[in-house]
Amino acid sequence: MSFTQDQVQKFRADFPILSREVRGKPLIYLDNAATTQKPLAVIDSQARVYKELNANVHRGVHFLSQESTDAYEKSRRKIARHLGVADEAEIIFTRGTTEAINLVSRTWGLANVQAGDRVVVSRMEHHSNFVPWQALAREKGAEFVIWEIEPDFTLSLERLEDILKKGRVKLLAFTGMSNVLGTINPVPEISALAKKHGAQVLVDAAQAMAHLPISLKDWPNVDFVAFSAHKMCGPTGIGVLWAKRKTLEAMPPYQFGGDMILQVGDEVTTWNELPWKFEAGTPNYGDSIAFGTALDYLAEVGMERIHAYETELVHLARQKLLEIDQVKILAPESLALHSGAVSFTTGLVHPHDLATFLDAEGIAIRAGHHCAQPLMRKLNVIATNRASFAFYNTRAEVERFAEVVRAAMEYFG
Ligand SMILES: Cc1ncc(COP(=O)(O)O)c(C=O)c1O
């Protein structure tokens, strides 16, 4: 089940920024793949930390320190529950998806990937799930392999199997959902295939977590999952790495310093238990706590319905854009495989000119390579336009957006 427009209006009232005017026009915010807006509950939750319970976590016996530590650890439990994870020590707070992936690359990767091994990423990766693996492979003398996309903007299991059959694949890193194409990748099938061939699997869930109902119970063959709070109505500067306890215990620490130690000797230091072994220094408890509030909010709205409604918006955007001559949509045909974002080219107007034209009407969309230059090269474009949606966008906003794209085509044509 999806949402009625009345329900969407109620959600909108929770997001103060959505009532802003931009360039004298009501804001139409269609850059949700870059970051989502924040509901008042999240903004208040963060403010409450600093107004009422601010004290460094894990450090003091005093009341406030205990209160902030409790709130910080409670947020970790909420995240575990949201993911369907029983052991909350498997939730490592990071600065975001990028840091979570770098953590894996710099700890597990350095320890496990050897010369002659192969590291595979898909062609549709964000730079943050491409460059760390490329750099690691170069450093270790491993082979960096790109799993190419198909002409229909999907990934093929047959093509992956051909790569895996050649052997020595240590890691497959791929996105659950493309930030450019909106393609939804079948994580259970892909990860099962990789596991059959002995590879470890990392899923970049930055977009998938924001748009799809996900339980990690459905991803039994995935070893690492990374995502960011700011794409899920939460604050910036906080995200999560999830991995199984056994895997995390075998991994060397990422950064060294306070909180991640057990005993510091003059010669040798021992490491703290999970999850703190990977959380050196004062953690970002203010944002971690507010992230817990964001997950409460999303749970109330309902991830199943968010996915259903956003897919309707994507469908509407596709329909309206395709009514405009020369517009080409870069997405899988099937809506079962496409949600969240619509990338398109017009063949006439440069993407930056189009985004500027829309901006003059208060409409925020993205133009550029979307941190996916390897994908742009394959698609043979230097940039695309991308409109990306959240459950607080209305059908009227999507219609207005398409209308202004049409006006831009007429203007530039
Ligand atoms: C698919 C994907 N992966 C990774 C990232 C990087 O996320 P962050 O900048 O929050 O680390 C993004 C952000 O746009 C993304 O869309």
All domains of the chain, ordered by start, with CATH? 5-30+302-412 (3.90.1150.10), 45-299 (3.40.640.10)
Q: For ligand 1, say whether the CB of 36 is within 6 Å of any of its atoms.
A: no
Structure tokens given for 296: 């409460």
Q: Which atom of ligand 1 is nearest to the CA of 97?
A: 11
Tell me if 361 CB under 6 Å of ligand 1: no
What pLDDT does 60 receive? 79
Nearest CA to ligand 1 atom 14: 34
Is 122 touching ligand 1 by the criterion CB < 6 Å? no
Q: Which residues contact 11 (CB under 8 A, 6 or more apart)?
A: 3, 301, 391, 392
Compute the distance between CA of residue 366 and CA of residue 7 in angstroms, rounded to an integer: 27
Ligand 1, atom 9, lies closest to the CA of 98
Q: Specify which residues 225 forms β-bridges with.
A: 203, 242
**Contact indicator for 385, 346 with CB cutoff of 8 Å:** yes
- The ligand 1 atom at the shortest distance from the C-alpha of residue 239 is 10
Contact predicate 385/328, CB 8 Å:
no
Q: Which atom, in ligand 1's list, is nearest to the CA of 179?
A: 16
Nearest CA to 45 out of 87, 74, 82, 2 is that of: 74
How far, in Å, is the centroid of ligand 1 from the Cα of 53?
30
Q: List the chain residues with pLDDT less than 50.
A: none
Tokens, residue 131: 């460059």
What SS3 class is residue 388? strand
The atom number, within ligand 1, closest to the CA of 95 reads 11
Radius of gyration of the chain (CA): 22
Alpha carbon of 411 to those of 93, 349, 400, 407: distances in Å? 48, 10, 16, 6
Residue 59 has a pLDDT of 77
Whether the CB of 98 sits within 6 Å of ligand 1: yes
Ligand 1 touching residue 183 (CB < 6 A): no
233 in active site: no
